[in-house]
Homo-oligomer: A and B are copies of this chain.
């Protein structure tokens, strides 16, 4: 998606060879117009798949996923990283490793929101090692729902997330695939 790639080149900041900071428009401060455009782009790609729900993970996936859900006119469900007193009933759980935060955590979704009637589209802001995506896909499977695919804003194509997801049979559609980061030198690739 050209507009996203141009924005990454303009406002993103590469640090070393693996970190891409996009905190001015994607995952700390959020450009809402851009989120709407991303939502439309994912809709165009997955519109024939009879999506019934959009699933993401707190927190930085929520804003994008909200506009994807708006485009499809379906509910958004976000997986929670902490079990609060407000989560009750049967809960679907998967473990996720965060490399940027240096920890492993459980993600949780109420069973009632992932059913055998659902065609679920997973949305997230980043795909790197794929741990969050595989955890969400596992929750979809546990709930007996159909996984339509995964829509990713920024894929770090030099990390194994896409490969791991595709090995699980998950269709990955990424709007910007980063081939390499070398401080301010950010290169993209196409699939």
Residues in A lying within 8 Å of B, measured CB to CB? 19, 21, 23, 27-33, 35-36, 58-60, 62-63, 66-67, 69-70, 73-78, 80-82, 84-88, 98, 100-102, 109-110, 113
Cβ of A78: which chain B residues have Cβ within 8 Å of it? Answer: 28, 30, 59, 63
A32 touches B66 (CB 8 A): yes
Task: Give Cα distance in the complex from A58 to B82, angstroms.
Answer: 12
B113 touches A76 (CB 8 A): no
Task: Give Cα distance in the complex from A63 to B66, angstroms.
Answer: 6
Given the known interface contacts A86-B21, A110-B23, the answer about A32 and B75 at a Cβ–Cβ threshold of 8 Å is yes
Task: Give Cα distance in the complex from A59 to B63, angstroms.
Answer: 10
Task: Give Cα distance in the complex from A69 to B29, angstroms.
Answer: 11
Given the known interface contacts A28-B113, A29-B113, A59-B58, the answer about A100 and B85 at a Cβ–Cβ threshold of 8 Å is yes
A76 touches B29 (CB 8 A): yes
Q: Pick the residue among B30, B62, B88, B100 that contacts A86 (CB under 8 A).
A: B100
Task: Give Cα distance in the complex from A160 to B58, angstroms.
Answer: 28
Q: Pick the residue among B33, B36, B87 that contacts A23 (CB under 8 A).
A: B87
Smallest CB-CB A-B distances: 6 pairs:
A58-B59, A59-B59, A62-B62, A30-B76, A63-B66, A29-B77
B100 touches A66 (CB 8 A): no
A101 touches B113 (CB 8 A): no
Task: Give Cα distance in the complex from A74 to B33, angstroms.
Answer: 9
